[in-house]
Amino acid sequence: MYPNTYNYLLKIEYDGTSFVGWQYQINGKSIQEEIEKALSKLLSEKIRLIGAGRTDKGVHALGQYANFLSKKKISNKDKFLDSINFFLRKNLISIIEIKRKNKLFSSRFNAKERIYEYKIINRRANLSLENNKAWHIKKKLNINALNKGAKLLEGTHDFSSFRSSSCSALSPIKTMKSVKIKKNGCEIIIQFKSKSFLQNQVRSMVGSLKYLSIGKWSYTNFKKVFYSKNRSRCAPPAPAYGLYLKDVKY
Protein backbone atom coordinates (compact mmCIF):
# COMPACT_ATOMS: atom_id res chain seq x y z
CA MET A 1 0.00 0.00 0.00
CA TYR A 2 1.35 3.41 -0.98
CA PRO A 3 2.29 5.71 1.94
CA ASN A 4 0.26 8.58 0.45
CA THR A 5 -2.90 6.50 -0.08
CA TYR A 6 -6.17 7.67 1.48
CA ASN A 7 -9.09 5.42 2.40
CA TYR A 8 -12.62 6.82 2.09
CA LEU A 9 -16.00 5.43 3.13
CA LEU A 10 -19.13 6.36 1.17
CA LYS A 11 -22.75 6.13 2.29
CA ILE A 12 -24.86 5.36 -0.77
CA GLU A 13 -28.55 5.46 -1.65
CA TYR A 14 -29.94 3.95 -4.85
CA ASP A 15 -32.98 2.75 -6.74
CA GLY A 16 -32.02 -0.76 -7.83
CA THR A 17 -34.83 -1.19 -10.37
CA SER A 18 -32.74 -0.87 -13.54
CA PHE A 19 -29.57 -2.57 -12.25
CA VAL A 20 -28.38 -6.19 -12.24
CA GLY A 21 -27.38 -5.66 -8.62
CA TRP A 22 -24.54 -4.08 -6.66
CA GLN A 23 -21.71 -6.23 -7.99
CA TYR A 24 -20.16 -6.30 -11.47
CA GLN A 25 -21.89 -8.68 -13.88
CA ILE A 26 -21.41 -9.24 -17.59
CA ASN A 27 -25.14 -9.19 -18.37
CA GLY A 28 -25.93 -5.58 -17.47
CA LYS A 29 -24.97 -2.48 -15.53
CA SER A 30 -24.27 -2.63 -11.80
CA ILE A 31 -24.29 0.06 -9.12
CA GLN A 32 -20.65 -0.66 -8.28
CA GLU A 33 -19.61 -0.14 -11.90
CA GLU A 34 -21.45 3.18 -12.27
CA ILE A 35 -19.95 4.62 -9.08
CA GLU A 36 -16.45 3.41 -9.95
CA LYS A 37 -16.68 5.04 -13.38
CA ALA A 38 -17.77 8.34 -11.81
CA LEU A 39 -15.04 8.21 -9.13
CA SER A 40 -12.33 7.32 -11.65
CA LYS A 41 -13.35 10.26 -13.85
CA LEU A 42 -13.53 12.68 -10.93
CA LEU A 43 -10.24 11.62 -9.30
CA SER A 44 -8.36 10.91 -12.57
CA GLU A 45 -7.25 7.45 -11.41
CA LYS A 46 -8.58 3.89 -11.50
CA ILE A 47 -10.85 3.36 -8.46
CA ARG A 48 -12.11 0.05 -7.07
CA LEU A 49 -14.95 -0.04 -4.56
CA ILE A 50 -15.39 -2.54 -1.72
CA GLY A 51 -19.08 -2.79 -0.85
CA ALA A 52 -20.51 -3.66 2.57
CA GLY A 53 -23.18 -5.89 1.00
CA ARG A 54 -23.99 -7.37 -2.40
CA THR A 55 -27.60 -6.46 -3.10
CA ASP A 56 -29.34 -8.47 -5.83
CA LYS A 57 -31.04 -7.28 -9.00
CA GLY A 58 -33.91 -4.88 -8.21
CA VAL A 59 -32.99 -4.42 -4.51
CA HIS A 60 -32.77 -0.82 -3.26
CA ALA A 61 -30.55 0.84 -0.66
CA LEU A 62 -31.05 3.66 1.81
CA GLY A 63 -27.71 3.04 3.48
CA GLN A 64 -25.26 0.97 1.45
CA TYR A 65 -21.60 1.58 2.32
CA ALA A 66 -18.45 1.15 0.25
CA ASN A 67 -14.84 2.19 0.69
CA PHE A 68 -12.09 2.97 -1.83
CA LEU A 69 -8.41 3.87 -1.85
CA SER A 70 -7.16 6.99 -3.62
CA LYS A 71 -3.84 8.76 -4.03
CA LYS A 72 -5.68 12.06 -3.75
CA LYS A 73 -6.67 13.77 -0.53
CA ILE A 74 -10.28 14.99 -0.60
CA SER A 75 -10.22 18.19 1.45
CA ASN A 76 -13.50 19.77 0.36
CA LYS A 77 -16.16 17.10 1.01
CA ASP A 78 -19.09 19.29 -0.04
CA LYS A 79 -17.49 20.01 -3.41
CA PHE A 80 -16.71 16.31 -3.84
CA LEU A 81 -20.33 15.30 -3.06
CA ASP A 82 -21.73 17.90 -5.47
CA SER A 83 -19.41 16.69 -8.25
CA ILE A 84 -19.89 12.94 -7.81
CA ASN A 85 -23.67 13.29 -7.52
CA PHE A 86 -23.73 15.35 -10.72
CA PHE A 87 -22.29 12.34 -12.57
CA LEU A 88 -24.59 9.80 -10.86
CA ARG A 89 -27.95 11.57 -10.74
CA LYS A 90 -29.27 10.15 -14.04
CA ASN A 91 -28.76 6.63 -12.64
CA LEU A 92 -30.78 7.35 -9.45
CA ILE A 93 -27.69 6.82 -7.30
CA SER A 94 -26.81 9.30 -4.55
CA ILE A 95 -23.67 9.56 -2.42
CA ILE A 96 -25.02 10.78 0.91
CA GLU A 97 -21.74 11.29 2.77
CA ILE A 98 -18.00 10.60 2.66
CA LYS A 99 -15.69 9.91 5.60
CA ARG A 100 -11.96 9.35 5.74
CA LYS A 101 -11.00 6.06 7.44
CA ASN A 102 -7.73 4.41 8.43
CA LYS A 103 -5.92 2.52 5.68
CA LEU A 104 -6.85 -0.93 6.99
CA PHE A 105 -10.61 -0.23 7.20
CA SER A 106 -12.90 -2.41 5.07
CA SER A 107 -16.60 -1.61 4.64
CA ARG A 108 -17.26 -5.33 4.27
CA PHE A 109 -15.12 -6.92 6.99
CA ASN A 110 -15.44 -4.19 9.64
CA ALA A 111 -19.27 -4.21 9.57
CA LYS A 112 -20.75 -5.15 12.95
CA GLU A 113 -24.41 -5.19 11.89
CA ARG A 114 -26.42 -5.01 8.68
CA ILE A 115 -30.03 -3.87 8.69
CA TYR A 116 -32.44 -4.86 5.92
CA GLU A 117 -36.07 -3.81 5.64
CA TYR A 118 -38.77 -5.40 3.53
CA LYS A 119 -41.72 -3.21 2.55
CA ILE A 120 -45.22 -4.61 1.96
CA ILE A 121 -48.35 -2.68 0.99
CA ASN A 122 -51.36 -4.71 2.15
CA ARG A 123 -54.47 -3.37 0.38
CA ARG A 124 -56.89 -4.15 -2.46
CA ALA A 125 -56.02 -1.18 -4.69
CA ASN A 126 -53.08 -1.33 -7.08
CA LEU A 127 -49.87 0.57 -6.34
CA SER A 128 -49.07 3.86 -8.04
CA LEU A 129 -46.43 5.73 -6.06
CA GLU A 130 -45.02 2.55 -4.52
CA ASN A 131 -44.80 0.57 -7.76
CA ASN A 132 -41.43 -1.30 -7.88
CA LYS A 133 -40.79 -0.04 -4.33
CA ALA A 134 -42.93 -2.47 -2.28
CA TRP A 135 -44.61 -5.89 -2.50
CA HIS A 136 -48.31 -5.47 -3.15
CA ILE A 137 -50.30 -8.15 -1.29
CA LYS A 138 -54.08 -7.92 -1.61
CA LYS A 139 -55.02 -10.71 0.81
CA LYS A 140 -55.27 -9.52 4.43
CA LEU A 141 -52.17 -10.38 6.45
CA ASN A 142 -52.46 -11.64 10.02
CA ILE A 143 -50.11 -9.40 12.03
CA ASN A 144 -50.17 -11.68 15.06
CA ALA A 145 -49.02 -14.59 12.88
CA LEU A 146 -46.30 -12.38 11.37
CA ASN A 147 -45.02 -11.43 14.82
CA LYS A 148 -45.06 -15.05 15.99
CA GLY A 149 -43.11 -16.20 12.93
CA ALA A 150 -40.65 -13.30 13.25
CA LYS A 151 -39.93 -14.24 16.86
CA LEU A 152 -39.03 -17.80 15.83
CA LEU A 153 -36.40 -16.51 13.40
CA GLU A 154 -34.52 -14.56 16.08
CA GLY A 155 -31.34 -16.02 17.55
CA THR A 156 -28.65 -18.34 16.18
CA HIS A 157 -29.95 -20.95 13.74
CA ASP A 158 -29.13 -23.00 10.67
CA PHE A 159 -30.89 -21.01 7.92
CA SER A 160 -30.39 -23.60 5.14
CA SER A 161 -34.15 -23.57 4.37
CA PHE A 162 -33.85 -19.90 3.35
CA ARG A 163 -30.52 -20.14 1.52
CA SER A 164 -30.10 -19.82 -2.25
CA SER A 165 -28.59 -22.84 -3.99
CA SER A 166 -25.90 -20.53 -5.41
CA CYS A 167 -24.97 -19.08 -1.99
CA SER A 168 -21.19 -19.12 -1.44
CA ALA A 169 -21.22 -18.60 2.36
CA LEU A 170 -19.05 -21.09 4.25
CA SER A 171 -21.77 -21.80 6.84
CA PRO A 172 -25.61 -21.59 6.86
CA ILE A 173 -25.54 -20.69 10.57
CA LYS A 174 -26.35 -17.05 11.24
CA THR A 175 -27.40 -15.03 14.29
CA MET A 176 -30.52 -12.95 13.73
CA LYS A 177 -30.26 -10.19 16.35
CA SER A 178 -33.85 -9.09 15.79
CA VAL A 179 -36.80 -9.45 13.40
CA LYS A 180 -39.38 -6.71 13.94
CA ILE A 181 -42.78 -6.07 12.35
CA LYS A 182 -43.84 -2.42 11.99
CA LYS A 183 -47.35 -1.62 10.73
CA ASN A 184 -48.62 1.81 9.72
CA GLY A 185 -52.00 1.67 8.00
CA CYS A 186 -51.63 -0.62 4.98
CA GLU A 187 -47.83 -0.40 5.07
CA ILE A 188 -45.97 -3.24 6.78
CA ILE A 189 -42.20 -3.12 7.29
CA ILE A 190 -40.30 -6.25 8.32
CA GLN A 191 -36.87 -5.32 9.69
CA PHE A 192 -33.99 -7.79 9.99
CA LYS A 193 -30.76 -7.17 11.93
CA SER A 194 -27.74 -9.46 11.70
CA LYS A 195 -23.99 -9.22 11.25
CA SER A 196 -24.35 -10.99 7.90
CA PHE A 197 -26.93 -12.76 5.73
CA LEU A 198 -27.01 -15.67 3.30
CA GLN A 199 -27.85 -15.09 -0.35
CA ASN A 200 -31.63 -14.66 -0.78
CA GLN A 201 -32.14 -15.24 2.97
CA VAL A 202 -34.26 -12.16 3.69
CA ARG A 203 -36.51 -12.56 0.65
CA SER A 204 -36.98 -16.28 1.41
CA MET A 205 -37.88 -15.55 5.03
CA VAL A 206 -40.39 -12.88 3.93
CA GLY A 207 -41.96 -15.24 1.40
CA SER A 208 -42.38 -17.87 4.12
CA LEU A 209 -43.76 -15.31 6.59
CA LYS A 210 -46.34 -14.36 3.96
CA TYR A 211 -47.48 -18.00 3.68
CA LEU A 212 -47.85 -18.05 7.47
CA SER A 213 -49.72 -14.73 7.65
CA ILE A 214 -52.27 -15.53 4.91
CA GLY A 215 -53.03 -18.94 6.47
CA LYS A 216 -51.46 -21.05 3.70
CA TRP A 217 -49.17 -22.47 6.39
CA SER A 218 -49.93 -23.06 10.06
CA TYR A 219 -47.32 -22.04 12.63
CA THR A 220 -46.42 -25.74 12.93
CA ASN A 221 -45.83 -25.94 9.16
CA PHE A 222 -43.72 -22.77 9.25
CA LYS A 223 -41.64 -24.21 12.08
CA LYS A 224 -41.17 -27.55 10.29
CA VAL A 225 -39.98 -25.82 7.09
CA PHE A 226 -37.52 -23.68 9.06
CA TYR A 227 -36.06 -26.60 11.00
CA SER A 228 -36.03 -28.97 8.01
CA LYS A 229 -32.93 -27.19 6.60
CA ASN A 230 -34.37 -28.10 3.20
CA ARG A 231 -34.45 -25.29 0.62
CA SER A 232 -37.02 -27.14 -1.55
CA ARG A 233 -39.63 -26.79 1.23
CA CYS A 234 -39.31 -22.98 1.40
CA ALA A 235 -42.04 -20.69 0.06
CA PRO A 236 -41.25 -18.69 -3.11
CA PRO A 237 -38.96 -15.74 -2.22
CA ALA A 238 -40.56 -12.30 -1.95
CA PRO A 239 -39.89 -10.01 -4.95
CA ALA A 240 -36.58 -8.12 -4.93
CA TYR A 241 -38.19 -4.68 -5.34
CA GLY A 242 -39.60 -4.64 -1.80
CA LEU A 243 -36.18 -5.12 -0.20
CA TYR A 244 -33.96 -2.29 1.08
CA LEU A 245 -30.49 -2.31 2.60
CA LYS A 246 -31.36 0.17 5.34
CA ASP A 247 -28.05 0.65 7.15
CA VAL A 248 -24.72 -0.85 8.16
CA LYS A 249 -23.24 -0.33 11.61
CA TYR A 250 -19.49 -0.12 12.27
Question: Of residues 56, 78, 82, 247, which has the active-site annotation?
Answer: 56
Half-sphere exposure (CA, 13 Å, Cβ side) for 208?
28
Question: How far apart are the C-alpha atoms of 183 and 188, rounded to whole Å?
Answer: 4
Active site includes 56?
yes
Residue 179 parent element (H or E): strand 173-184
Pairing of strands 155-158, 173-184: antiparallel
Q: Which residues pair with 188 in a beta bridge?
A: 120, 183
Pairing of strands 187-194, 173-184: antiparallel
Q: What is the dihedral of CA 204, 94, 114, 211, to 10 degrees?
A: -20
Count of CB atoms situated within 10 Å of the CB of 87: 17
Catalytic residues: 56
